Structure 1
Amino acid sequence: MLKKWWHDLTQRNRSSGIIIPLQKTFAHQQESLVLTPGQADTKSSSPEQVLAKLNAIFGTSLDINYGSLRSRLQSFIKQDLDFGAIYARLRSCWPRDRDHIDARDDAVKLENGFVEAKRRGASDVRHRKASTGVQTINAPHSIKPRRLWDLYANRVVPYHYSYGTQQDAPVWAISHSWTDNMHHLEGRLLTSVNGREWRIPLPHDVNLEAVRTELLNLEAEYAWLDVLCIRQASSDPAKEVMRKSEWMVDLPTVGAVFDRYAHRVVQYMNGLGRAFEPFGWDEDRHLLNRVWALQETQADSVIGGIPEWIRDPHDAINVFTLERFGERLKSLSDFEAIRSGTEMVSVRDFTHIVNAIKRMKSANPIDKVFVVAMILCQERLPLYRENISAEEAWTICVENLPSSLLGVFLFKSPIPGNGVATWRPSWNQLLASGALELYNDLPFVFIPGLVLSVRPDGKASYLGPVVEAHFTPNSHTGHPKGEVIIGSGSLKEVRCVKLLGNHSLPKDDYYFVGEGYELTWLVCLKTKEGFFRKVAVVTTANGTRLGGFDKKYEHCVFV
């Protein structure tokens, strides 16, 4: 009964025209530079008409006959660009210094600024292409966003048009929860904002102009919004080919947009442009419960869609649970510190990420794997291929994780992996209940002598001490302990060890591969090809080293 009443209340609030003050009107000192939708949609038939509008907006007196201004504007008209699209391409490099007005110099400055923006744009394209490998993206944080929403012009343009002759313009990135209806092609908005290149998915009760108005009132000039800046699904087969190609790079580098290029982040908790609500925080579609949100937060993020009766959403109290929203929001904000400290990954941080991902929702199972990659893989990221399995995505992700985590998988995962590799857990094992309990007691990972890398075939290479030994389980105790006999003939040494994990290990001859301290050892068998197959992990009793007469350092390859 209570649930039905809550549902009715939610729907009533969303359809009753809640007043969101920042979405009503825009009034700012830069208002003269902001086009109305009608102004942006206007098309001109001559360069003179376009220049007259631009001079009026900027208060300049550029002459159509100076420099290449006429041919530049004529080129835009031939491309069938409306005034908003033309304005967006010239605005960032239009002369602004009105102290010394010289129309001829202004025309030169404009042309130089436009040429420089185009040059940097071509450089961005080359860099994106050069960074894209067969399976991975190199230096992903250096790849700039492909597009931006110019809020003044109300047009989506390539990122380089925000350059001009200045430094990169401050970008506001928008984090929002996709509502159910946004995943359907039917009803999507076809708009001139993105040149009608693809239909825009929006919540059914949201007006894109209202979102723009709110962002302008927050003093944003350029915004990155996924539905506008990442190519969306289309019924056109040719455009679908383009979308899949762009998604391979654009989706993995979303985290870089928020981490490196976003000046501020705006969060819409209940859907893009929708009002913030003091309830429903456990809904599957709430931003708090969407896995992509883990990489889209900043400490000073702004919550969008604030109704007129809420002064500070952080102080909002859940009308059902009496929980303060600011406390719940910590589940997202904690991840900013983790993302900024990935050079030395704490095991506790890793378990925190995976445990959060386990409870969060995603439209595609592989999205959870990619969020792990986006947070933890700094040098290379897997390309996004939406049709591969989560296990396939995890295999590519593992290859690019920090070596400290690879060492944890190898030496601290108590049972062999049940996927394509035995040396590390499969994705399903990692998400299994209780799988990370052993890791929680470990501080920062440091495995001395560790030289670990993952080969393209998924095998792990490691250089460490290797001992041929015989393991005998001890059946006289309630704990899975046993003895290791090292050496042969009259030269042998007996040591007590304890198996990690609640499982048994049969009496047999094995290879023991140790980490640098020689306190934790992998129990392995060898394949006929000479590879090591992980069977179990043991630790030495009482913290004593498991030395041996026949110990030697060996290059090991684990399957």
Structure 2
Amino acid sequence: MREKALEGDIIKDNEVPPRRAFDLYSYRVVPWWVAAMLIGLPRAVSHAWVDTKDRESVWTHINGKQWPVSLPSGIDPRLLRNEWLNEGCQYVWVDVFCLRQEGGLREDLRVEEWKLDVPMIGFVYGAPARLVWNAGPIICYLSGLGRPLSSNVDMTSDRSWFRRAWTLQETSTDCVIAGLTDEETVEQLEYLRADIQNAVPPLAGLSFFTTIPPSLVMRVLSDMQKRVSSYPIDRVAGLAYIFQGTRVPGYYKSHTEEEAWLKLWRVSSLECRAQIFFFFPQPGRGEQKWCPTWEQVLSEELPIVECDPTEKWYGHLYYEEWHPGRPFAFRGHCIKDGHVCGLAKEDPSVRVRSGELRITDGSGTTHTFRISANHQYPIPEDSYELWGTSGQGSTFTSFREPRALLKYWVLGYRQGIKFEKFSTFQITEEDERQRLIKSGLAQGVNTEGERLRTDLC
């Protein structure tokens, strides 16, 4: 299975299980299939590595002394084992024991294993896999692996669990806070548990079996801006499982962040691509105009996307991987000539700016609609080509989200057969959207199943 999982530098399947598991009964690392055959998915352990000066490398027979196990100073693996046994675990997955680490006997083998094993860490922590395999809640250490829970966890430290890039995908609504002492009160524990669950609210309950909320991508990217990692590329790699592609980029530490970022969008879900298209307020400065560069993601203030918590996202942005030369493309509804005004200047005193969209129909009558922008990027008063959301699922389904129909918009210019993005706005008022729908000014809206397609710059 593993030998065939990588196709070039892309992992073909997002459900490749971990390579190893820690068998607590035999006190050694075993192949994953041993645990899968007996219990299913091992319990996942989440932690942030402490600073190098506060940890030590241990050579242990647990992993056959194949690589040094990095543990916080003074932590005994036997005590970790006892703690996990007391949690009712037979098998666990924790990176220091189950993922081949640097400094071991086979550095060449580590490089090869990491191409597949590092991106698929998200599978162990993901809600879908834990649901299917009936795995228990994630065991979470906030003060370092095996360390007692500090009563004053420093959430601002670069070594904080709340600030590491990899722990973003480990955020879960169900978790067991480990390392408890007699000092913690019920109120303190509930406060910490709420911090974990609210770290990135859109991730709560997220699974491959449900559609994603419109606020997901911007909220996740905004959170990742504040996180740190040992290697710069890790902040990109830590997003792969969250963005729900059926394929996942392999892990190559030699790749630049921009290379990894573009590769991520080529395999991410159609819905997540569409969110970056509709919500990032500027054109990309790199190879793709529809998508920002990674440098833009890290440096720009990202908009807050407000929506009904029950609203689902059905916008799709396509990339035909079987035709590598083909550009990204979007299917939705189009207004060929819309005049946008009132958004040309920044207004830091408000979070959402108000403007107008004016469209002239075939008879010469001008229709005016109230619009808004949840960002400060200036949109000069001008006529633009506009693309709006259909609220419809994939080409092969009839599922619709009426609340998203013509709600989110991208404006830009026609460059030959391609559309070049300039900025974004929304029509948030339901009565305004209904007027636009009934007017027939947006192409394809009143024709069942008909959506227009455009290639993107």
What TM-score does the superposition give when structure 2 sets the normalisation length? 0.75
Q: 1:385 aligns with which of 252, 277, 281?
A: 252
| Partner in structure 1 of residue 44 of structure 2 | 173
Secondary structure at 2:453 match in 1? strand
Secondary structure at 1:252 match in 2? coil
| Partner in structure 2 of residue 436 of structure 1 | 303
Contact 1:404/1:445 (8 A) holds in 2: no
Say whether 1:406 aligns with 2:294. Answer: no
Provide, for residues 427-452 of structure 1, a one-character-per-residue CA deviation record: whole Å limited to 9, x for no partner: 34444454222x224663556xx653
Say whether 1:271 aligns with 2:144. Answer: yes
| Partner in structure 1 of residue 331 of structure 2 | 463
Say whether 1:137 aligns with 2:5. Answer: no
State how far apart, in whole Å, the 1-side matches of 2:329 and 2:38 are: 44
One-letter code of the match for 2:207?
Answer: S
State how far apart, in whole Å, the 2-side matches of 1:241 and 1:251 are: 15
Which has a greater percent of helix? 1
State how far apart, in whole Å, the 2-side matches of 1:272 and 1:347 are: 35
Distance 1:495 1:417, change over 3 A: farther
Contact 2:330/2:453 (8 A) holds in 1: yes
Q: 1:535 aligns with which of 422, 434, 445?
A: 422
Distance 1:513 1:333, change over 3 A: closer
Distance 1:192 1:460, change over 3 A: same
| Partner in structure 1 of residue 68 of structure 2 | 199
| Partner in structure 1 of residue 380 of structure 2 | 505
RMSD (Å) for aligned C-alpha atoms: 3.8
Secondary structure at 1:228 match in 2? helix
| Identical aligned residues as a percent | 24
State how far apart, in whole Å, the 1-side matches of 2:264 and 2:60 are: 37
State how far apart, in whole Å, the 2-side matches of 1:401 and 1:339 are: 15
State how far apart, in whole Å, the 1-side matches of 2:203 and 2:38 are: 25
- Structure 1 unmatched ranges of 5 or more: 1-126, 318-322
| Partner in structure 2 of residue 394 of structure 1 | 261
Distance 1:357 1:338, change over 3 A: farther
State how far apart, in whole Å, the 1-side matches of 2:138 and 2:28 are: 20
Say whether 1:372 aligns with 2:239. Answer: yes
Say whether 1:306 aligns with 2:174. Answer: no
Report the Cα offset of residue 233 of structure 1.
0.7
* Within-5 A mapping of 1:72-471: 127-141=1-15, 143-162=16-35, 167-168=38-39, 171-181=42-52, 188-234=57-103, 239-259=106-126, 260=129, 262-282=135-155, 283-307=157-181, 309-310=182-183, 314-316=186-188, 324-332=191-199, 337-340=204-207, 343-432=210-299, 434-437=301-304, 439-441=305-307, 444-446=311-313, 452-456=317-321, 459-466=327-334, 468-469=336-337, 471=339
Report the Cα offset of residue 178 of structure 1.
0.2
Secondary structure at 1:188 match in 2? strand
Contact 1:182/1:188 (8 A) holds in 2: no
Contact 1:313/1:326 (8 A) holds in 2: no
- Structure 2 unmatched ranges of 5 or more: 348-353, 391-404, 445-449
One-letter code of the match for 2:100?
Answer: R
One-letter code of the match for 2:95?
Answer: D
Report the Cα offset of residue 480 of structure 1.
5.3
Provide, for residues 77-113 of structure 1, a one-character-per-residue CA deviation record: whole Å limited to 9, x for no partner: xxxxxxxxxxxxxxxxxxxxxxxxxxxxxxxxxxxxx
Secondary structure at 2:236 match in 1? helix
One-letter code of the match for 1:460?
Answer: F
State how far apart, in whole Å, the 1-side matches of 2:79 and 2:276 are: 48
| Partner in structure 2 of residue 124 of structure 1 | none
Structure 1 consecutive aligned stretches of length 4 or more whose deviation exceeds 6 Å? 474-479, 549-553
Provide, for residues 271-323 of structure 1, a one-character-per-residue CA deviation record: whole Å limited to 9, x for no partner: 1121211113323323233332233355453333333x34x565448xxxxx9
One-letter code of the match for 1:505?
Answer: P
Distance 1:521 1:145, change over 3 A: closer
Secondary structure at 1:173 match in 2? strand
State how far apart, in whole Å, the 2-side matches of 1:162 and 1:472 are: 59
Distance 1:513 1:493, change over 3 A: farther
State how far apart, in whole Å, the 2-side matches of 1:350 and 1:476 are: 26
Contact 2:217/2:276 (8 A) holds in 1: no
State how far apart, in whole Å, the 2-side matches of 1:159 and 1:195 are: 15
Say whether 1:555 aligns with 2:429. Answer: no
State how far apart, in whole Å, the 1-side matches of 2:245 and 2:268 are: 8
Contact 1:188/1:199 (8 A) holds in 2: yes
Report the Cα offset of residue 538 of structure 1.
5.5
Report the Cα offset of residue 189 of structure 1.
1.8
State how far apart, in whole Å, the 2-side matches of 1:291 and 1:454 are: 27
| Partner in structure 2 of residue 49 of structure 1 | none
Contact 1:524/1:533 (8 A) holds in 2: yes
Contact 1:172/1:224 (8 A) holds in 2: yes
State how far apart, in whole Å, the 2-side matches of 1:470 and 1:355 are: 31
* Within-5 A mapping of 1:4-43: none
State how far apart, in whole Å, the 2-side matches of 1:492 and 1:144 are: 61
Report the Cα offset of residue 423 of structure 1.
1.5
Distance 1:333 1:425, change over 3 A: closer
Provide, for residues 364-394 of structure 1, a one-character-per-residue CA deviation record: whole Å limited to 9, x for no partner: 3332333332223152222222232333323
Q: Size of the alignment, in residue pairs? A: 411
Contact 1:270/1:285 (8 A) holds in 2: no
One-letter code of the match for 1:250?
Answer: D
Distance 1:504 1:277, change over 3 A: closer
| Partner in structure 1 of residue 402 of structure 2 | none
| Partner in structure 2 of residue 525 of structure 1 | 413
Secondary structure at 1:535 match in 2? strand
Contact 2:290/2:421 (8 A) holds in 1: yes
Distance 1:409 1:495, change over 3 A: farther
Report the Cα offset of residue 256 of structure 1.
1.3
Distance 1:244 1:493, change over 3 A: farther
State how far apart, in whole Å, the 2-side matches of 1:537 and 1:401 are: 21
Secondary structure at 2:423 match in 1? strand
Secondary structure at 1:340 match in 2? coil
One-letter code of the match for 1:383?
Answer: G
Greater RCO between the two (CA within 8 Å, min separation 6)?
A: 2
